[in-house]
Amino acid sequence: MMGHDAATIAQMRDIHDLFVNHARITRTVTNVPDGIRTVTESDDPRIAQLLKDHVVTMRQRVDVGNDPGLPIESDALHAIFKNYEKIETTVETTEKGMVVVQTSTDPETIAAHQQHASEVTDFVTDGMAAMRTAMMKNASSMVPHGMHGGMMRGGPNARTGPDARQTSASVDVWRYEYDLSIVECAGRRRSRHLRVIACQRAASAAEPDA
Ligand code: HEM
C-alpha cells in the first residue's frame, strides 16, 4: 500500500470488503442513450452502508479528477477520471443501497460509464475472481519494481513481471514472483502483505548506447 494516503488506503479496504461480500450484493444496470442507471443494494445493513460510502467517496474523487491509480483500474475508469467535467451524476439512496444515474453528452464518456458499470457488475457477480481478471488485464502495463500501490496487485495466485535493472556494465532483466496474503484482523478488516517469493535473472544484455 506504499504511496497512498490514509484516506485512499481506507477506501481500498472498503473496496476489498465489497469484493469479499460480493454475494450479498444485488445489482441491475440499465444502459440509456446518454449513460446508465444502476441499482445496487444489499440486505446486509453493513454492506449497504459500505456501498453508499464507496459511491460517495469515489464520487468525491471523480468530482476533482483525483484518480487513485490502482492496478485494478480499467481504461474505462481512467477515462471517467479524465473526463470528470463531462459527467452528470445523481445518487438516490434507498434503504438497502442506492440508485445511480450518470449521463453525459460526450460519446466517449457515455461509453466509459457503460463499460465501467458492466465491470462493477462483474465484480458483484464474480467477486475476487473478477478482481484478479481485471488485474491480469492490466498486467501488461505493470511495473513491479517498487511495487507502486501494491494493494490488489497480488492475490492467492502468485504474479510475475519483468524488472529491468541497469548496472554499470549491462542491463539485467529480473523476473519477480510475488504473492498476496490476506489476514483477518479484529474479526473484520483484512490486511494485505505483498511479498516477493522468488527472484530470478531472466536475461542480461550489453548496455545500450546512451
Ligand atoms: C465489488 C466491488 C465494487 C462494487 C460493488 C462497486 C460499486 C460501485 C457502484 C455501485 C458505483 C456507482 C456507479 C455504478 O453503479 O456503476 C461505483 C462507482 C465507482 N467505483 Fe466502484 N465498486 C467496486 C469496485 C471498485 C473498484 C475496484 C474501484 C477502483 C478504484 C472502484 C472505483 C469506483 C469509482 C471511481 C466510481 C465512481 C465512478 C463515477 O462516479 O463515475 N470501484 N462503484
Same domain, 18 and 89: yes
- Do 14 and 117 reside in the same domain of the chain? yes
3-state secondary structure 36-84: EEEEEEECCHHHHHHHHHHHHHHHHHHHCCCCCCCCCCCHHHHHHHHCH
- Cβ of 40 below 6 Å from ligand 1: yes
Q: Tell whether pTM > 0.75.
A: no
Asked if residues 12 and 4 have their Cβ atoms less than 8 Å apart, the reply is yes
Q: Domain boundary residue among 71, 99, 134? A: 134
Distance 195 CA to ligand 1 centre (A): 27
Q: Give the three cell numbers for residue 25.
A: 450484493
> Is the pLDDT at 196 greater than 70, yes or no?
no
Is 1 contained in some domain? no
What pLDDT was estimated at residue 199? 58
Number of domain units in the chain: 2
The verdict on residue 38 lying in a domain is yes
Higher-scoring residue by pLDDT: 151, 171: 171
Q: 120 and 40: one domain?
A: yes
Residue 119: the pLDDT is 95
What average pLDDT does range 50-73 have in this prediction? 91
| Grid cell of 118 as nine digits | 458492466
- Judgement on whether residues 116 and 34 belong to the same structural domain of the protein: yes
Ligand 1 contacts CB of residue 120 (under 6 A): yes
Q: Is the predicted pLDDT of residue 164 greater than 70, yes or no?
A: no
Q: Is 147 in the pocket of ligand 1 (CB under 6 A)?
A: no
Residues 77, 160, single domain; the answer is no
pLDDT band per the 50, 70, 90 thresholds, residue 56: very high
Question: Is residue 134 very low, low, confident or very high in pLDDT (cuts 50, 70, 90)?
Answer: confident
Same structural domain, 166 and 125: no
From the CB of 134, is ligand 1 less than 6 Å away?
Answer: no
Is the C-beta atom of 73 inside 6 A of ligand 1?
Answer: yes
Tens-digit pLDDT profile for residues 62-91: 989 999 888 889 999 999 999 999 999 999
CA of 58 to the centre of ligand 1 (A): 7
The C-alpha cell that represents 128 in the structure block = 475476487
Atom of ligand 1 nearest to the CA of 131: 27
Q: In which band, very low, low, confident or very high, does the pLDDT at 107 lie, cut at 50, 70 and 90?
A: very high
Mean pLDDT of 33-39: 96
Shared-domain flag, residues 12 and 66: yes
Place of cell 481504461: 75
Rounded to an integer, what distance in angstroms lies between the CA atom of residue 135 and that of residue 119? 12
**Res. 209: pLDDT tops 60:** no
In three-state secondary structure terms, 188 is: coil
Domain end call among 108, 134, 160: 134
Which of 134, 159, 175 is the last residue before a domain boundary? 134
Q: Are residues 150 and 119 in the same domain?
A: no
Instruction: Specify whether 45 is located in the same domain as 97.
Output: yes
Q: State the Cα–Cα distance between residues 127 and 123, nearest whole angstrom.
A: 5
Q: Which domain holds residue 63?
A: 6-134
pLDDT at 121 over 60: yes
Confidence band of 200 (pLDDT split at 50, 70, 90): low
pLDDT reading at 95 higher than 70: yes
What are the two backbone dihedrals, phi and then psi, of residue 39, each rounded to the nearest 5 degrees?
-125, 120
| Cα atoms found within 13 Å of the Cα of residue 173, Cβ hemisphere only | 9
- Statement: residue 155 has pLDDT above 70: no
Distance CA 35, CA 13 (A): 28
Q: Average of pLDDT values for 161-185?
A: 45
Verify that 163 and 65 share a domain, yes or no: no
Please tell me whether residues 79 and 154 are part of one structural domain: no
Distance of CA 120 from the midpoint of ligand 1 (Å): 6
Q: Which atom of ligand 1 approaches the CA of 117 most closely?
A: 16
| Residue 70: predicted pLDDT | 85
- Verify that 94 and 186 share a domain, yes or no: no
